[in-house]
Structure formats: C-alpha cells, structure tokens
Amino acid sequence: MASTTSSPTVNTATMSQPPAEKPSAPPVNILPSQLARIYSFVHPALLLTLAASRFEAVVANPVQELLNDLPWLALLQLFFVILCVPPAGSLETASSGDNEEKKKASPRSPSAPRPGKSGHRRKQASGKNVWAGLWARLMPALLSVTLTTFIATPVLAALLVLFGAPLTTHNAETVLCAAHMAVLSASSLVYVHGTDGSVWKEVWGIARPADAVWGGALGTGLGAWFGAIPIPLDWDRPWQTFPITILAGAYIGYAAGSLISRTPFVYGKRVQFVPEVIEEDDKKTN
C-alpha cells in the first residue's frame, strides 16, 4: 500500500546504509554472533510452524487456546530478542542534536555498554561483565513485557475495533487477538527502543527505516488487515469467524515482514507518504 521509493528531500545516503546523521534511531541489526544470525532466521519459521500446529485447536476454542498460547508466544519472542537484537540503550543515539527532548530512553539502563557511534555493531560483553550484560538485557525485557501488556494490547484492541472488530460481542477474542499482535510486534520494538519518543512517533507514523524488528511489526499490522479478506466468503467454515483469519494474517505478516525487511534491497528504507506535500510547499515558497 505504501511506497518504498526515496523522497527527494531525504539524503540518498540513507537509502541503503545505516544513516549517520539521521535525527532518529537507526535501523536495528541482528547481533553478529553466529547463534543470533542462525536463530533470527529460524525464529519466524518456528513461530509459523507452532502457529500452524495449534490452528485446529484455535478454531475449536479460540479464547481458551489463544489464552494458553499467549505465555509461550511471549517467552519465544523474549528469547528471540534477548538472543538476537541489541537491548534498548545499547545504541548510541546522541547524534541528533536538534531533538534532545525526545531522548529519554538512554538513562533507563545505565549499566549497558555504549559502543559509541550509531550503526556500529555492539561488542560482546567481556566475561567479567556477563552478569551486567544479562541485567542490561533483562531490564528491557521486563519493560517490554509490562508495556506490551498495559499499553500495546489496549491500543491494538482499540485499533482492531476501529478497523471493524465487533464491539458488543467477541470482546475476549478481540483482546486476545490484540495481545498476540502486541507480543508479535510491540514486544521487540520496546526491547530494542525502550521508550524513545521519537522512535514511537515514527512507529505511529509508519516512518521507521526497515529492519527485522520494524519489518515484523509492520508485517503484523498489514497481515492482520489483509487477514480480513476471507471473512465474507460464503464457505461457512468455522475458521472464518472473527479473530482467526486476522491472527493468521498477522503471524504470516510478521514472518514475512521480519525476513523481507532484512534483505539488503529493503533494509533501511522508509515508507514514503508525502512527496506531494513537499511539492506544494515548494509552490508556496515560490
């Protein structure tokens, strides 16, 4: 639905490589360790396989099964982010001098190592600092669980209703669907970016540069939107009821999004909405 082409005003250097002078947080790389690289590809596939294996049970009893699966999904996601992506605060974001007011996330984990320039890969913590490193990861993980439960889930549930989910019935299904989507999308975003206001502004405006975490989140949303397509068909299958196709779309979208956005062709690019506003602006200044 949106283009990935470049805007005339954005420096072309931002297109294919991590930006150096971008005002907001750069795209996130998968950690360099061998295990992280391998598991980052296994993870989406694993999620899809598990989701497929539970599909029948979800169709039979959506509320119970979604509720049962939720902690396992959260554990898997946390495992993935702790293993594969840098936690919040580990990335230097000081390069943006013009919007300091948004940088509130950094002090959250003071013990986290700061490798310096943004875009550089985080160095492995030395053996002495293993515990400190683990702590630096557990804090964002805890934050991630809290925020996902108390903010992302209600927000996504409200969005689901705005997009047409039933309001007077199926409330448990809506909340659980939102919770699954939140764990898929928001948990890793929180883990990586903490409460960085500028990042979340970009997230809300679908303006993040593509990376595995953001790609998964965007894919979850888009997939859920496309997941509504089979519902009106007159096949009268039990899986056509409300949350199932939406969630299936979200899972597939998550897997596809997190894999596609990591490819060199897409990585670091942004969805462009407003070339014509700029044109109009030019007109006015003329």
Q: Which of 64, 205, 241, 265 binds other proteins (CB under 8 A)?
A: 205
* Choices 43-51, 69-77, 146-154, 233-241; region in contact with other proteins by CB under 8 A: 233-241
Q: Which residue has the tokens 């948990």?
A: 187
Helices (H), 2-103: 34-53, 55-60, 62-84
- 154 makes contact with other proteins (CB under 8 A): no
Cβ proximity to other proteins: between 67 and 159 the closer is 159
- 271 makes contact with other proteins (CB under 8 A): yes
Task: Quote the CA–CA distance of 99 and 110 in Å, as a whole number.
Answer: 21
Residues 165-194, mask of contacts with other proteins (x by CB under 8 A): --xx--------------------------
* Choices 42-50, 87-95, 211-219, 271-279; region in contact with other proteins by CB under 8 A: 271-279
- 232 makes contact with other proteins (CB under 8 A): yes
- For other proteins, the binding residues in 59-118 under the rule CB under 8 A are none
Cβ proximity to other proteins: between 54 and 201 the closer is 201
For the chain, how far is it from start to end, CA to CA, in angstroms?
Answer: 32
Other beta carbons within 10 angstroms of residue 96's beta carbon come to 16
Burial class (CB in 10 A: 0-12, 13-18, 19+), 208: buried
- 275 makes contact with other proteins (CB under 8 A): yes
- 281 makes contact with other proteins (CB under 8 A): yes
For CA atoms 174, 244, 189, 162, the dihedral sign is negative
Opening angle at CA 191, ends 185 and 193, nearest 5: 95
Q: Which of 35, 204, 237, 265 binds other proteins (CB under 8 A)?
A: 204
Q: How far is the CB of 201 from other proteins (least distance, A)?
A: 5
Q: Which of 20, 45, 75, 274 binds other proteins (CB under 8 A)?
A: 274
- 155 makes contact with other proteins (CB under 8 A): no
How far is CA 74 from each of CA 94, 117, 142, 146, 163, rounded to the nearest angstrom?
31, 31, 11, 11, 25
- 206 makes contact with other proteins (CB under 8 A): yes
- 237 makes contact with other proteins (CB under 8 A): no
Cβ proximity to other proteins: between 225 and 239 the closer is 225
How far is CA 145 from each of CA 111, 140, 179, rounded to the nearest angstrom?
20, 9, 11
Find residue 272's DSSP bridge partners. 3
Cβ proximity to other proteins: between 43 and 270 the closer is 270
Task: Quote the CA–CA distance of 141 and 109 in Å, as a whole number.
Answer: 11
Task: Quote the CA–CA distance of 152 and 185 in Å, as a whole number.
Answer: 9
Q: How far is the CB of 159 from other proteins (least distance, A)?
A: 8
What residue ranges bind other proteins (CB under 8 A)?
A: 1-3, 5, 9, 161-164, 167-168, 198, 201-202, 204-207, 225, 228-229, 231-235, 271-281, 283-284
